[in-house]
Amino acid sequence: MPPTTTETRAPEPVDEERPRHGVWGRWLRRFSATGLVVALAWFCLSFTPSLIPRAWYYQAVISGVSAVGGYAVGALVEWFAVKVGLRIRWTARASRIAWWVLAGATVVLVPLALILGARRQIELRHLFGMSEDVPGREVVTLLAALAVALLVLQAGRGLRRVARWLSVLVGKVVPAPVARFVSGVAVAVVVVLLFNGVIWSGTLSALNSVYAAANAEISPRLTPPTLPERSGSPDSLEPWDSLGAEGRKFVVSGPTLDELRAFAAAGDVVDPADVREPIHAYAGLDPEGDLDATAARVVDELDRTDAWDRSVLVVATTTGTGWVDPAMVEALELMHGGRHRDRQHAVLLPAELDQLRRRPLDPARRGQGAVRGGVRAVVGPARGRPPAPARVRHLARVVRDAGRVQRRAGRRGSLRRRDVHRDARVHADVARAHRRARPRVARVRPVVDDGRQVRWGDPVATGVADLWGPGPRWDEPRVVYLQHASDGVTWWGPETLWSEPDWLREPRGRDVLGDVRWYPFVTFWQLTGDLFVAAASDIPPGHGHVYQLEYADGFAALHAPDGWTDADTARLKDAMVAPVEGGSIG
């Protein structure tokens, strides 16, 4: 073998067209240029308004996640273009100019987005009647958003490194393209399985334990009721400690007999002498999770209290923690407390975390079973029980709930009575709305079948006349959906990731800014933020997911006593308590 020689070369002349990479240049080369462009666009768009005023920390998360999503989309497009031979060859000079243009655009657009976004949030808060937020948090929001973006980006790059390492191992057995594909799919599957099977289930298990412990805790401020009309009393079949935290609150809540008589005496509709103590029947979840058994225990409580002599019945399924809206209880008890001598509540508790469990993974299945089982057991005709007027409905996804009713109306041109009983009255949460309804109906305050049985309304804005707008003919059983255009719980949906929802193609509601628009990926995360703050304690009544005072309007249109007037509805609102802090989001 000939000896190896070392050859010394003179330095080559500097090529002005060769890119010079400093520290920043080498760092920037790690990123996709197309990805950064899309990330900048989506980052700026994330500051546009949505439905609910946002705090700076929610804005930071939304902006950070949107930026990473934009980067991922742009990088994927660039990768695909290279693979199919569409790569554009840039000279060093053109590349430097492009990077400087991107940097200049960032310097201009990001502060502009922050300033305009802050102004839109001020406008939205004024529209809600809220005070202005603490000013000058734009810099904190920007820094927090960048931190979120880098954290999520590094997590994604970590998964990519794992996929590459796996592809090297698999590549020893199969061709490289197959190895890369298999490794990518394997990492994606493991991530999904980890989230659903370990992270999500573990989170649910931990939260369920926390909620169960809180549910079992007996507040020293609450004492068992002594009235025989209440579950948990000495006469009750349901022990006090079996009702859970929210159940115990429910059975001791509501207006007192003296308060009911005082309200009746202030008007001309009700004779105070006719007022009777309301019945509150409540059953906690069966130890085996049997909803039919839970419903049967509610019926036993109604039998015990001789509740079937009362002509007004409310079957209420709780939220995931067992919470029953006290404003709903108060509105109907004050309205009917004396006239009919007949208030009763029958409550079925699905589970501690039913609402959290079914939103992302199991839409409507368990909730439908709870409602159907409760309705069958409590208002079954075989026992000669009183008809139960449909409860005013406002909980999550009510438009999707009503979508099946609208879809059937579109196919036949009208509604059948059993449709109202089965769908609207039982409140089956439909996973997909009525996109193919014929004739096409609006999503915000729709009118179906001329409002003959089912009606939507926004009573705080327009009063009871809004519910009577479709006309005076309103057949029984009547169903009322209270709906806010700004309710993030109602309008949230995963499909907003890739498609514009129908409700954003319609004229904006009274409490939604006119420049709210749909943007791929970005709008989904904005609505996800709205979902968490729609029922926050600082959201005023009549906006978001805060419906407390509107029960008065809904029940007045649905099942008001004879002689009830709009003045009585206003009097009822004045008598009702302020919105309850910490209400559930459904």
- Pair (144, 234) in one structural domain: no
| C-alpha of 46 from chain center | 19
Annotate 282-293 with three-state secondary structure.
EECCCCCCCHHH
In a domain, 116, yes or no: yes
Structural domain contains residue 198 = no
**Beta-bridge partner residues of 314:** 345
Residues 140 and 245 in one domain: no
H-helix segments, 322-397: 326-336, 354-358, 365-378
Distances (CA, A) of 38 to 70, 106, 151, 498, 516: 5, 12, 18, 16, 20
Residues 242 and 336 occupy one common structural domain: yes
Phi, then psi, of 234 in degrees rounded to 5: -60, -30
Shared domain check, 458 and 560: yes
Same domain, 229 and 139: no
- The answer as to whether 412 is a domain residue is no
In-domain check, residue 140: yes
pLDDT tops 80 at residue 359:
no
For residue 64, give the nearest of 151, 3, 130, 156 by alpha carbon: 151
Query: Is there a domain that residue 188 lies in?
Result: no
Cis geometry, peptide bond prior to residue 477 (ω within 30 degrees of 0): yes
Least confident of 99-108, 232-241, 262-271, 322-331: 322-331
Domain shared by 375 and 239, yes or no:
yes
> Both 576 and 497 in a single domain?
yes
Distance from the first to the final alpha carbon of the chain: 82
In percent, the amount of the chain with pLDDT more than 90 equals 11
Per residue, the 3-state secondary structure of 42-94, as one string, reads HHHHCCCCCCCCCCHHHHHHHHHHHHHHHHHHHHHHHHHHHHCCCCCCCCHHH
pLDDT digits (tens, 9 = 90+) for 487-543: 888 888 888 989 998 888 888 888 899 889 999 999 999 998 888 888 887 888 888
What integer is the mean pLDDT of 8-12? Answer: 44
Q: Tell me the per-residue pLDDT of 429-475, one tens digit each, with 9 for 90 and over.
A: 333 334 444 446 777 778 878 888 888 877 666 655 577 777 788 88
287 in the same domain as 149? no
**Domain tally for the chain?**
3
Could you tell me if residue 417 is inside a domain?
Answer: no
Residue among 465, 539, 447, 525 at smallest CA distance from 493: 525
pLDDT at site 292: 77
β pairing state of 344-348 and 454-457: unpaired
Q: Helices (H) and strands (E) in the chain — how many of each?
A: 20, 5
The answer to whether residues 459 and 376 belong to one domain is no
**Structure-model confidence comparison of residues 328 and 125, the more confident one:** 125
Q: What is the pLDDT of residue 289?
A: 66
Which run of H or E residues covers position 127? helix 92-128
Confidence of residue 75 (pLDDT cuts 50, 70, 90): confident
**340 and 242 share one domain:** yes
Mean of pLDDT values over 387-412: 40
Residues 6+ apart with CB under 8 A from 319: 355, 395, 584, 585, 586
DSSP letter (8 states) at residue 447: B
Residues spanned by the domain of 585: 441-586
Distance of alpha carbon 339 from alpha carbon 72, whole angstroms: 63
